[in-house]
Structure 1
């Protein structure tokens, strides 16, 4: 097995920068892609959150949970608001609480999610910038709303397969051929979406998690060299698993996040886009502003682009 030899990247935008590649998204680039968007159909690329959904429990993370904190009848019995039986029977009050790992379901990885040798992107260190609760740099709240051109690299479609086989490592050639087939090129400021086909099996956890097909490290480096501002995939980690490199168990994460400053979007549903042959689109997506968090839920929306 080869070594990954990944090093933490320094931002060309200065020592305090926390945006990394997202600096390439500008007011002009966002306005240009919005001007071409066909709003007659909006594709929702996210998945539902529900009890029993596939998650990273095998890695020790909690499963998604939801429970009621207030119910209409319970409010009558409890009378915690002190307004009495008659009013509480008239006003039916419900409330709930959720509990989950921040990388559950469709989500975006913040730049502080992975680092190398105690440092995250742009040299922020665990010693100086990691508090008792969360990182003080590179958290989910620093990710701006993404309004950018999305380009889907349909590798499953390229191979004429419903889903790529487990642990298939997507190559640079695969990426180039998928773009050629779609008649597209990646441009600076784009968000690249990798389709492996795994969402065809959602929510069967035995088929959508574990030994994922995904981008190999050479392909990851080629993608960031194209000037993308984020990378997305329809599986749990964008990259191929298990690692092909002896010195790093998730080299793709370390490259995208720590070396290149490119946030990662995972578990996006690309099946409807693929069925409709939409490979180029206006992406609108924004994470919940969880201060310091290593990731946050994301609801990506896509609209096909007019010529």
Structure 2
């Protein structure tokens, strides 16, 4: 862990070196989710041994982490409660609505969420994202779900803190040390990496959306190569943007997003709750599990709410 940022390689050079464009064909819109093979999924199902289910999604309600500037917390409205309804036989019903940004709580970023230099993942033109939605790489392209072997690396516990400070760069060494501390649990091809910074615990402790969104600990740019070398299929975190903020290069915003989504095609799951799962893993020493997190099948959307499950 380091609180002092060091100069990193230009993100374009890193992205070009790690790029997965064309790896699964010129028309591919799923990216590294393709690494979850049928064989890998069957093996992941075998990790279910005690039937314990951990829901990793945060509540979709008005008490969420959004401060109401760029995004708001969900607004839940009742359209029917049964009051004053008159149907034969005494039947009554309740209906409701929800109004929310698709990225306001636990969610997947689609591969259309981020782009630069007028291109998104696999070289598709950025103009494919318009006011009509994403014609390429939308979240519905992941409709069969992102499910497989999940591995939790508890970086906050590695450093003996409830949560890492904002601006803390998580390095490849941190990920390796966390794995060694956790009995040498491996992270390999087709796996889904979950890493815990403690940022969800910070929010639950302080209940301060502005502080939660002001910055965060997260992955440094060097972790992109670590993920590529291991052929990780997807990455999830308990912070709101996966990567460290403020970033390592003050002249670039969300460089890790640009490399992972645009160049490598890695789906990103953000704002998950690992507290219960991390406690159980520390108790039984088992840090891998079946992870199931299908997005909503929202046509042409660039993100989707989720309630991911870890099943042990």
Scaled by the length of structure 2, what TM-score is found?
Answer: 0.88
Alignment-derived partner of residue 71 in structure 1:
81
Name the SS of the counterpart of 2:223 in structure 1.
Answer: helix
Q: Secondary structure at the match of 2:273?
A: coil
Q: Report what 2:23 is aligned to.
A: 12
Match of 2:61 among 50, 56, 71: 50
Unaligned regions of 5+ residues in structure 2, if any?
1-6
Give how far 1:177 is off: 0.5
Deviation at 1:180, TM superposition (A): 1.0
Map 1:152-191 to 2 at 5 A.
152-182=152-182, 183-191=184-192
1:281 corresponds to 2:293? no
Q: 1:71–1:31: structure 2 CA closer, same or farther, 3 Å change rule?
A: same
CA positional deviation for 1:28: 1.3
Which residue of structure 2 lines up, in the alignment, with residue 251 of structure 1?
255
- Does residue 137 of structure 1 match 2:136? yes
Q: Judging changes above 3 Å, is the alpha-carbon distance between structure 1 residues 174 and 303 closer, same or farther for their aligned structure 2 residues?
A: same
Q: How does 1:18-37 map to 2 (within 5 A)?
A: 18-37=29-48
* Unmatched 5+ stretches in structure 1: 77-84
Aligned to 1:101: 101
- Distance, in Å, in 1 between the alignment partners of 2:46 and 2:220 is 34
Partner residue, 1:81 = none
Shift of 1:147: 2.2
Deviations 1:19-67 (A, max 9, x none): 11111111111011102312421111111111232126332x3431111
Contact 1:44 1:302 in 2 (8 A): yes
- CA change 1:245–1:91 in 2 (3 A) is same
Spell out, residue by residue over 1:73-116, the C-alpha distance to the aligned partner (whole angstroms, 9 max, x if none).
Answer: 15x3xxxxxxxx3538x222111111111111111100000011
Task: Give me the whole-angstrom Cα distance separating, in 1, the residues matched to 2:54 and 2:222.
Answer: 30
After superposition, the C-alpha distances for 1:252-306 in whole angstroms (9 at most, x for unaligned) are 11111001100000111111122122421111110101111111011211123xx
**Shift in alpha-carbon separation, 1:300–1:39, aligned structure 2, 3 A:** farther
What whole-Å deviation, never above 9, does each CA across 1:200-252 have from its counterpart, x for those lacking one?
13341244332100011112331232100000101101100022224420011
Superposition CA RMSD, Å: 1.8
User: Tell me, what secondary structure is at the counterpart of 1:241?
Assistant: coil
Q: Deviations over 1:167-214 (max 9, x none)?
A: 101011111101111111211000011100112133412443321000
Q: State which structure, 1 or 2, has the greater radius of gyration over its C-alpha atoms.
A: 1
Length, aligned pairs only: 292
Q: Distance in 1 between matches of 2:72 and 2:105?
A: 13
Contact 1:121-1:259 at 8 Å conserved across structures: yes
**Could you say which residue in structure 1 is the equivalent of 2:270?**
266
Partner of 2:200: 199
**How far apart in 2 are the matches of 1:14 and 1:93?**
49
- Partner in structure 1 of residue 3 of structure 2: none
CA distance in 2 between counterparts of 1:41 and 1:191 reads: 19
